[in-house]
């Protein structure tokens, strides 16, 4: 995909999204006339053909219609993607309650490309019983004791010191918050800072569980496309002015599902925007240490001096997912709100898990383990890419993380491929699940982290064969 094509494609989507948002926000109401092609092209500083192409696709998608030669008009009954839905079941009546990803994982298959998890055989299982024994020797009453709501002080001190060493930023144990996995962190943040109908900015595509969490809280989601080179920051600023989001949930490092990483320049600019327009950046950083060649840029929170970033760092994906421990770095002005929500949710994560994690995290073995994992995942990524090379499918090769984000040809719908793949005992995630607008209809996410090398080769070969049989 050449640079020029991508740029045109990108401007086109910008126009498409803009019109759609105007319609969804009822700025342009049913049967309103859209601006003329010439007028919008001039306003948005793009070529008229780009606007025309966007209008045509909107027509194709039934969002607008053409009336004789009078121009384009807003279609009636356009479903409002921005409005949260409300279930009316008399007993189950909270906001939309769906976890799309967990539904995909339900069928049991032999070739798991839907799981963005690390193969349990790569994890340091055999060391752990040593640390557990150590924890019981050191803290004989660990199971009789509640953790504080914010998390074990010793662990928070260790993590603060780790972040200071890594990024040379000032930090204390008070700034660190322990949650039961990064998913709980996202859930607590949504509960603490989002009321129904608040606007939340999301990358498109994004992490599907986060989409479901914010929707369940009643948020209205506005999306910003993520590209290999980052966001269109003008578009971001435009949306911020237009929609006044309370927060931007983002995953700027080896982004899930695309694998893209945001540059230092964009990181700094995002912090400036957050300070200027007073919204929060929720930086979800689950893959920071899973890089193949070089370490990624420092987290966005390290550029924050005004307390606008909440940073969620999960280590457990590549150490011990079963422990369910994540660290949150939270500005002091927001800490009490999170503490209260956490105290209501579970009154603190289990102390045992925090102490086991602490002792492994503080050990020399961690660095060795990380190096091993990086090599193993790099190899697995390359196996998947080798096996997919014959297909002509398109993806940007990731420099870290656990997934390939793959665009299928038009004639191969992901739903059909998934249905046939599951028959062949292969699972993957259709891209639509990762799209808050549920429209990315030609993409899929393939995780190379869970299956071992042999399963990867076999499974991808099978997947390719399924695709070929469908394309005939």
Which residue's CB is nearer to its own copies, number 198 or number 385?
198
Instruction: Confirm or reject binding of residue 93 to its own copies (CB under 8 A).
Output: yes
Beta-bridged to residue 204, according to DSSP, are 225
Write down the least CB distance from residue 82 to its own copies, Å: 19
In the chain, how long is the greatest CA-to-CA distance? 82
**Token pair in block for residue 138:** 């050191």
**Token pair in block for residue 468:** 């070929």
Write down the least CB distance from residue 409 to its own copies, Å: 33
Interior angle at CA 313, CA 228 and CA 200, nearest 5? 65
Which residue's CB is nearer to its own copies, number 136 or number 162?
136
Cβ count within 10 A of residue 342: 26
C-alpha separations of 411 from 258, 357, 388, 407, 415 in Å: 22, 48, 17, 11, 12
Write down the least CB distance from residue 301 to its own copies, Å: 17
Taking the C-alpha atoms of residue 390 and residue 375, their distance in angstroms, rounded to an integer, is: 24
- Identify residues 2-21 at the interface with its own copies (CB under 8 A): none
Site pattern 184..203 for its own copies (x: CB under 8 A): x--x---xxxxxx-x-----
Which residue's CB is nearer to its own copies, number 230 or number 348?
348
Write down the least CB distance from residue 89 to its own copies, Å: 9
Site pattern 205..224 for its own copies (x: CB under 8 A): ----x--xx--x--------
For residue 223, give the DSSP letter.
E
Region from 67-75, 115-123, 419-427, 457-465 binding its own copies, contact rule CB under 8 A: 115-123
Write down the least CB distance from residue 225 to its own copies, Å: 25
**Token pair in block for residue 233:** 């920051």
Write down the least CB distance from residue 226 to its own copies, Å: 23
Gap between the terminal Cα atoms of the chain? 25
Interior angle at CA 342, CA 338 and CA 344, nearest 5? 120
Place of tokens 């953790």: 147
Write down the least CB distance from residue 112 to its own copies, Å: 13
Write down the least CB distance from residue 321 to its own copies, Å: 6
Write down the least CB distance from residue 181 to its own copies, Å: 6
**Dihedral angle sign, alpha carbons of residues 73, 435, 238, 197:** positive
Q: Are 206 and 249 in contact (CB under 8 A)?
A: yes
Q: In 45-180, where does DSSP find H-type helix?
A: 48-60, 100-104, 125-138, 153-167
Write down the least CB distance from residue 401 to its own copies, Å: 19
- Identify residues 407-446 at the interface with its own copies (CB under 8 A): none
Q: What is the DSSP string of 76-88?
A: TT---TTSPPB--
How many of the chain's residues bind its own copies (CB under 8 A)? 70
Taking the C-alpha atoms of residue 449 and residue 454, their distance in angstroms, rounded to an integer, is: 12
Which residue's CB is nearer to its own copies, number 90 or number 392?
90
Write down the least CB distance from residue 451 to its own copies, Å: 15
Contact pick of 44, 117, 366, 412 for its own copies (by CB under 8 A): 117
Q: What is the DSSP string of 304-351?
A: -SSS-EEEEEE-GGGT-GGG--EEEE--HHHHHHHHHHHHHHTSS--H
Contact pick of 98, 227, 268, 374 for its own copies (by CB under 8 A): 98
The string over 419-435, giving b where at least 16 C-beta atoms fall within 10 Å of a residue's C-beta and e elsewhere, is eebbeeebbbbbbbbbb
Site pattern 289..328 for its own copies (x: CB under 8 A): -------------------------------xxxxx----
- Identify residues 234-253 at the interface with its own copies (CB under 8 A): 246
Contact pick of 176, 309, 330, 351 for its own copies (by CB under 8 A): 351
Taking the C-alpha atoms of residue 10 and residue 20, their distance in angstroms, rounded to an integer, is: 15
Site pattern 123..142 for its own copies (x: CB under 8 A): x-xx-xx--xx--x---xxx
Taking the C-alpha atoms of residue 82 and residue 436, their distance in angstroms, rounded to an integer, is: 9
Site pattern 275..294 for its own copies (x: CB under 8 A): ---x-x--------------
H or E element at residue 237: helix 233-243
Write down the least CB distance from residue 471 to its own copies, Å: 35
Which residue's CB is nearer to its own copies, number 5 or number 91?
91
Which residue's CB is nearer to its own copies, number 148 or number 235?
148
Q: Quick check: bond before 270 cis, omega within 30?
A: no
Which residue's CB is nearer to its own copies, number 58 or number 209?
209
Residues near its own copies (CB under 8 A): 90-95, 97-99, 102, 117, 120, 123, 125-126, 128-129, 132-133, 136, 140-147, 149, 180-181, 183-184, 187, 191-196, 198, 209, 212-213, 216, 246, 278, 280, 320-324, 333-334, 336-337, 340-341, 343-347, 349-353, 356
């Amino acid at each position: 995909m050449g640079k020029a094509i991508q740029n045109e494609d990108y401007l086109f989507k910008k126009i498409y999204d803009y019109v759609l948002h105007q319609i969804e926000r009822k700025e342009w109401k049913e049967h309103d006339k859209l601006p003329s092609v010439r007028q919008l092209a001039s306003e948005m500083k793009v070529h008229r053909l780009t606007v025309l192409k966007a209008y045509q696709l909107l027509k194709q998608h039934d969002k607008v219609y053409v009336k004789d030669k009078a121009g384009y008009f807003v279609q009636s009954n356009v479903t409002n993607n921005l409005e949260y839905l409300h279930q009316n079941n008399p007993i189950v009546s909270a906001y939309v309650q769906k976890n799309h990803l967990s539904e995909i994982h339900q069928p049991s298959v032999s070739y798991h490309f839907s799981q963005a998890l690390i193969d349990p055989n790569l994890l340091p299982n055999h060391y752990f019983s040593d640390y557990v024994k150590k924890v019981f020797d050191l803290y004989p009453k660990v199971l009789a004791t509640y953790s504080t709501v914010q998390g074990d002080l010793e662990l928070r001190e260790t993590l603060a010191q780790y972040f200071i060493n890594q990024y040379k930023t000032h930090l204390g144990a008070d700034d660190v918050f322990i949650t039961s996995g990064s998913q709980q962190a996202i859930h607590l943040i949504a509960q603490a800072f989002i009321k129904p109908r608040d606007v939340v900015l999301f990358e498109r595509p994004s992490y599907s569980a986060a989409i479901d969490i914010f929707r369940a809280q009643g948020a209205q989601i506005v999306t910003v496309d993520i590209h290999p080179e980052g966001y269109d920051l003008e578009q971001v600023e435009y949306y911020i002015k237009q929609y006044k989001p309370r927060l931007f949930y983002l995953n700027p490092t080896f982004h899930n599902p695309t694998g893209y990483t945001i540059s230092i320049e964009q990181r700094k600019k995002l912090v400036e925007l957050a300070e200027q327009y007073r919204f929060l950046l929720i930086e979800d950083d689950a893959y920071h240490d899973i890089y193949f060649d070089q370490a990624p840029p420092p987290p966005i929170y390290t550029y924050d001096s005004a307390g606008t970033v909440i940073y969620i760092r999960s280590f457990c994906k590549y150490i011990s997912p079963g422990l369910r421990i994540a660290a949150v770095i939270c500005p002091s002005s927001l800490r009490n709100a999170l503490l209260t929500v956490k105290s209501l949710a579970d009154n603190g994560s289990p102390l045992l898990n925090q102490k086991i994690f602490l002792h492994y995290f503080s050990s020399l073995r961690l660095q060795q383990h990380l190096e091993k994992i990086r090599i193993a995942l790099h190899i697995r990524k390359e196996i998947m890419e080798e096996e997919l090379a014959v297909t002509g499918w398109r993806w940007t090769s990731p420099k870290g993380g656990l997934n390939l984000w793959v665009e299928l040809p038009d004639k191969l719908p992901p739903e059909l491929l998934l249905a046939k793949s599951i028959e062949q005992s292969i699972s993957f995630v259709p891209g639509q699940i990762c799209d808050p607008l549920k429209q990315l209809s030609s993409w899929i996410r393939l995780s190379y982290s869970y299956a071992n090398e042999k399963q990867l080769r076999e499974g991808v070969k099978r997947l390719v064969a399924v695709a070929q049989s469908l394309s005939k």
